[in-house]
Amino acid sequence: MSLMPLPKYHQIYLVLREQLDEGRFEDGLPGELALIEQFGVARVTVRRALQRLAEEGLISRNPGRRTRPVPPVAEPRNSGPDGAERANLHGLLENLVTMGLRTSVKVVDVATVSASTQVADALKLKIGDPVQKAVRVRSTREGPLSHITTYVPAELARSFGRRELMKKPILVLLEQAGVKVGRAHQTISARLADNVLAQHLDIAVGSALLAVRRLIYDEDERPVQWLHGFYRPDRYTYEMELSRVGSIDAKVWVSKDVSAPFN
């Protein structure tokens, strides 16, 4: 497989940006020498990648001090009285079953880890609280479809591990553990593949991916799962039915039913 002719500094930038987004560098990024050794490149290459991150406001670089991530600005979540922004979970379990029949899953890793700032904030936990982190790659007959990382509070994940994750989606396992799924908040954006995603999804570094962030709540409004998903756009389609709400002047469109499968 031939890779896209991306400069080495840009590949390093992509990797570090994804790791920053996952909250891996709360205590500061590795020093230049450590990054040089890790990626096997010259100092100028590492500095150019760090400069790109700094220009985007993702890190703060001060001479004589450790390079640190810049905390993201929390985006307001509008919640209208009709709850139109919430994902419609009708048919959720049916979608899960269909997804399981049509695809196979490989559990790359599953472990209990300490919640980072971002994970703790999403799941309403304390920093350092135990959470189950599971990384899976789902495939169709054509090949890899998605790379999914999920975070679940450890107390809710006690009844399942690698073996169970190979057989059933996490939401089904949570339901079996007594969790009553309530609603989901989801965002969809575009992302470029770093070297790790490229390897798992059998694509070139820098290829465009569909990035999904999904936070699942139970019926008591407690966050029970935070999902980071990356999908190959040539093998994944997100569909929804839209209907007009209100008067013609309002021109507001809302989702009637989410048909894209949950993981």
CATH code, domain with 12: 1.10.10.10
Q: What is the pLDDT of residue 119?
A: 92
31 in a domain, yes or no?
yes
Residues 125, 226: one domain? yes
50 in a domain, yes or no?
yes
80 in a domain, yes or no?
no
Q: Which amino acid is at 111?
A: A
**pLDDT tens-place values along the chain, 263 residues long:** 344 456 788 878 878 887 787 677 777 888 889 899 888 889 999 999 998 888 888 888 877 777 887 766 544 444 443 333 333 444 444 454 455 556 788 999 999 999 988 899 999 999 999 999 999 999 888 899 899 999 999 999 999 999 999 888 888 889 889 998 888 888 888 888 888 888 999 998 888 899 989 899 999 999 999 999 999 988 877 666 666 555 545 444 444 444 444 45
DSSP string, 109-164: EEEEEE--HHHHHHHT--TT-EEEEEEEEEEETTEEEEEEEEEEEGGGSTT--HHH
Residues 130, 166: one domain? yes
Q: What is the pLDDT of residue 82?
A: 39
Residues 121, 52: one domain? no
Containing structural domain, residue 21: 8-69
Q: What is the dihedral of CA 125, 126, 127, 133, to 10 degrees?
A: -30
φ and ψ of 234, to 5 deg: -80, -10
Residues 96, 173: one domain? yes
Residues 63, 96: one domain? no
Query: Element (H or E) spanning 48, and its range?
Result: helix 43-55
Residues 133, 248: one domain? yes
3 in a domain, yes or no?
no
The residues, any chain, with a CB within 8 Å of residue 118's CB and separated by 6 or more, are 22, 23, 72
Residues 133, 225: one domain? yes
81 in a domain, yes or no?
no
Q: What is the pLDDT of residue 226?
A: 94
Residues 40, 103: one domain? no
Question: What is the tally of structural domains in the chain?
Answer: 2
Residues 27, 138: one domain? no
Token pair recorded at residue 5 = 């002719």
Query: Are 98 and 107 in contact, with CB atoms under 8 Å apart?
Result: no
* 110 half-sphere exposure, CB direction, 13 A CA radius: 19
Q: What is the dihedral of CA 179, 101, 185, 238, to 10 degrees?
A: -170
Residues 53, 125: one domain? no
Residues 48, 105: one domain? no
Residues 53, 165: one domain? no
Query: Are 96 and 138 in contact, with CB atoms under 8 Å apart?
Result: no
